[in-house]
Chains A and B, each alone.
Chain A
Amino acid sequence: DAMVIQNPRYQVTQFGKPVTLSCSQTLNHNVMYWYQQKSSQAPKLLFHYYDKDFNNEADTPDNFQSRRPNTSFCFLDIRSPGLGDAAMYLCATRGLAGSGPSYNEQFFGPGTRLTVL
């Protein structure tokens, strides 16, 4: 009954070696978000997809890209990871249909902890 799934949970990559993190959801939500959370810091929004529409945050580095091939899946690509990209990457979803109590709620996945060597 997992709702937002992230794979892998732990990822180790080498400096400069491209890496892809994945997120899938069983909620059929039309919005998917990627957040970066560095150690002892707050989550920071990188970008989100509203259906197929990609919305990048102004200060997200070009090194970070995303793909959403269908409603269920969303990928985070880091083209050339640096030591400063080591962090927990959190995927979240939100459904915009309806107006009930959970209308605004974002559902977070367990995160992928990325280590860059």
Chain B
Amino acid sequence: GENVEQHPSTLSVQEGDSAVIKCTYSDSASNYFPWYKQELGKRPQLIIDIRSNVGEKKDQRIAVTLNKTAKHFSLHITETQPEDSAVYFCAASQGGADGLTFGKGTHLIIQP
């Protein structure tokens, strides 16, 4: 089955700086890569996703890049704000009805 590795497990950045979280996946059949933000006690919230036919996607301060050959994808958050503090999960999925395989998560801390 799919295995998703995520690094780092904790990331502390100064407010206004950029944050980068990286993930690798093992199954070349995976073709959908979402990123979720989860605040304590709440449901995972989709913040951005990318399909395997696209190399990069951007939405305001958030961007995701995908390297299919190397089987890795990254989340980039620019101009970080205190409200960006949360746990971020990457995930991978094959097409059809398959569920998501999640990375172990990154605790992002924005220092004021």
B contact patch SS: loop
Question: With contacts defined as CB atoms under 8 Å apart, how many contacts are there between chain A and chain B in the complex?
Answer: 53
A residues within 8 A CB of B42?
A: 110
Interface size on B (CB < 8 Å)?
A: 22
Q: A33-B99, A48-B99 are in contact. Are A43 and B51 (CB under 8 A)?
A: no
Determine if B89 and A43 form an interchain contact, defined as CB atoms under 8 angstroms apart.
Answer: yes
Contacts A/B (CB < 8 Å), 25 sampled: A30-B97, A35-B99, A35-B100, A41-B104, A42-B89, A42-B103, A42-B105, A43-B100, A43-B102, A44-B102, A45-B100, A48-B99, A58-B1, A90-B44, A94-B97, A104-B32, A104-B51, A105-B46, A106-B34, A106-B46, A108-B43, A108-B44, A108-B45, A109-B43, A113-B41
- What residues of chain B have their CB less than 8 Å away from a CB belonging to chain A? 1, 32, 34, 41-46, 49, 51, 89, 93, 96-97, 99-105
A104 touches B89 (CB 8 A): no
Chain A contacts of B46 at CB under 8 A?
Answer: 105-106
In chain A, positions 60-96 with a C-beta closer than 8 Å to chain B are 90, 92, 94, 96
Q: Within the assembled complex, what's the spacing in Å between the Cα atoms of A30 and B96?
A: 11
Chain A 36-56: CB-based contact to B (< 8 A → 1; otherwise 0): 000001111100101000010
